[in-house]
A = this chain, B = another copy of it.
Amino acid sequence: MNVTVAVDCMGGDHGPSVTVPAVLAFLRGHPGAHAILVGREEVLTPLAGEALAAPGGRLRIHPASQVVGMDEPPKSAVRAKKDSSMRVAIDLVKRGEAQAAVSAGNTGALMAIARFVLKTLPGIDRPAICFALPTVKGHAYALDLGANPECTAEHLLQFGIMGAMLASALDHIERPTVGLLNVGAEEIKGNELTKQAAELLRQSSLNYYGYVEGDDIYKGRTEVVVCDGFVGNVALKTSEGLAKMLTTFLREEFMRSPFSKLMGLMARPVLRRFRHRIDPGRYNGAVLLGLRGVVLKSHGSADAFAFEQALARAADAASNRLIERIGDKMAALAGANGECA
């Protein structure tokens, strides 16, 4: 793996105290990878320590004087923060000095900057946010999870292509199954958008499965699940809220009485394995798909373990030629439709 990842070290709820240790752990686990720490040099240098001087030159700092605020409007981030750690990390991808950028900062700003600097791939109207959700069979890639609250059927087709190529790149599945999220599995179910999108997906060269329902996501019915950004965002956040409520209830039951506390203590190794299995940190790293470069968004509250997962996923996507795969598929689609690629 000969990949360089540019890391926005200043973003996220915890900033460099989490991002820098995560990068060091990532480099230890990926011997062929390189990383560029982007942010305030005076903060990053002491945190990175001797790793900066290690043989092989796999780690360096690229200075950036500004930081994009977690609540900063995307427009202002694009216009007024040209030397922000987020912007500089993406500039490094644009210039070819890095093959992927990772940030735990503000999603809207990251999407706006990435789109402004990198541009979308030919044939892609809008980038989408894609996330690997755990399923009983492993995981499924769902998109769009919030970038596009209003979509056309063509957008959903493009999401299907991007999601399938991501599954191919990260999981080495040749023809991943693609499901279209709907309110029922029967052909007559759904709204105008899903009916039109189903038609386009059926005609495409994708391995289109058909409609899937909300519960099919976690059943792992298909490897990719496509929906508009409004529905996807609601499904994702509803899931987060429910998972949090259920784990709270479980903890409360184990804290209710001295007996249940004792049980909780004794069953701790079992409960810990359960918690690890559903730990959202393991799935950290949403991919901003459709851009001319690999960009990953880490959860803002990610700890070092979770941020490291996002770095690993970014390096994996870049070294498995994610962007080229999407570009090739879009060119083939344009060719099949008799258009200029």
The residues of A with any CB-CB pair to B shorter than 8 Å are 134-136, 146, 149-150, 181, 183, 189-192, 213-219, 227, 229-231, 233-246, 248-250, 253-254, 256, 259-260, 263-264, 266-267, 269-271, 273-274, 277-278
Contact = CB atoms under 8 A, between A and B. Distances in A.
Given A150-B192, A191-B149, A215-B240, A181 B245 contact: no
A213 B230 CA distance: 11
A243 B240 contact: no
A267 B254 CA distance: 9
A256 to B, nearest CB: 7
Contacts of A190: 149, 230
Nearest to A142: B238
Contacts of A273: 253, 256
A242 B241 contact: no
B231 A214 contact: no
Contacts of A234: 181, 183, 213-214, 227, 231, 234-235
Given A183-B229, A218-B242, A237 B213 contact: yes
12 contacts: A183-B229, A183-B233, A214-B233, A214-B235, A214-B238, A215-B244, A218-B244, A218-B245, A227-B234, A242-B243, A243-B246, A250-B274
